[in-house]
Amino acid sequence: GENVEQHPSTLSVQEGDSAVIKCTYSDSASNYFPWYKQELGKGPQLIIDIRSNVGEKKDQRIAVTLNKTAKHFSLHITETQPEDSAVYFCAATTAQKLVFGQGTRLTINP
Amino acid sequence: NAGVTQTPKFRILKIGQSMTLQCAQDMNHNYMYWYRQDPGMGLKLIYYSVGAGITDKGEVPNGYNVSRSTTEDFPLRLELAAPSQTSVYFCASSVLAGGLQTQYFGPGTRLLVL
């Protein structure tokens, strides 16, 4: 089955700097890659996603890139702000089930 | 829409007790899921359902049971609670569209087994 590895497990950046979180997946049949943000005490919330037929997608300060050949995808957050502090999860799926990475705790330092 | 709702928010159980975690969604989603999240860890799938009357095991189903009698509700039953079941439980729902799905999560139920 699918296996998703996520790095780093923790990431600390200065406010205004960029943050990058990387994930690799094992199943070449996976065709959908969402990213979720989880704030303290809340459930995960989708922030951006990408299909396997797209190499890059951007939404304001957030972007996701996908390299199907290497089987890895990344989340890029530019001009980080204090409200970006949270745990971020990547996931991959072929159909009914999502397989999640282990999560990255992002801390934005003022 | 209320989205995905879960009750209770927090519960303490004694070893051996049983309880049902409630989950409901009002988005008419076919797919529903139960995950557990241990401290500092990712989400592990317990059970999922692709429609009323259909359920299937996920990665960590032992010690749990589910039922799906309606599209809206997907309760998770814990029989003979054990300390290893101390966790935060999330319910999610989704609809499969164009081969893709976005899962919407509830706020979670924090369970402590002592």
Question: For the residues A21-27, what does the mean pLDDT come to?
Answer: 96
User: Given this model, what pLDDT does residue A24 score?
Assistant: 97
Tell which residue, B30, B29, B28, B23, has the closest CA to residue B4. B23
Q: Quote the percentage of chain A above a pLDDT of 90.
A: 80
* Alpha carbons B27 and B19: distance in angstroms, whole number: 26
CA distances A79 to A22, A62, A63, A66, Å, are: 18, 9, 12, 21
| Interface membership of B39 toward A (CB under 8 Å) | no
* B40 has pLDDT over 90: no
Which chain A residues have a beta carbon less than 8 Å from that of B33? 97
**Residue B99 pLDDT grade (very low, low, confident, very high; cuts 50, 70, 90):** low
Chain B residues with beta carbon closer than 8 angstroms to that of A66: none
pLDDT-based confidence at B96, cuts 50/70/90? confident
Asked if A74 contacts A33 with a C-beta cutoff of 8 angstroms, the reply is no
pLDDT for the residue numbered A97? 83
Mean pLDDT of A66-88: 96
Residue B5, classed as helix, strand or coil, is: strand
User: Is pLDDT at A54 greater than 90 in this prediction?
Assistant: no
**Rounded to a whole number, what is the distance in Å from the CA of B82 to chain A's nearest CA?**
23
Averaged over B47-73, what is the pLDDT? 95
Q: How confident is the model at residue A53 (pLDDT cuts 50, 70, 90)?
A: confident
Judged by CB atoms closer than 8 Å, whether chains meet at B107 and A46 is answered as no
Please tell me the predicted confidence (pLDDT) of residue A71: 95
Q: Which residue of A has its CA nearest to B95?
A: A96
What mean pLDDT comes out for the span A4-9?
95
Tens-place pLDDT, residues B13-35: 999 999 999 999 999 999 999 99
Residue A105 pLDDT more than 70? yes
Interface of B with A in 60-89 (CB under 8 A): none
Taking an 8 Å cut-off on Cβ atoms, the answer to whether A43 and B4 are in contact is: yes
Cβ-defined contact of A96 to B96 (cutoff 8 Å): yes
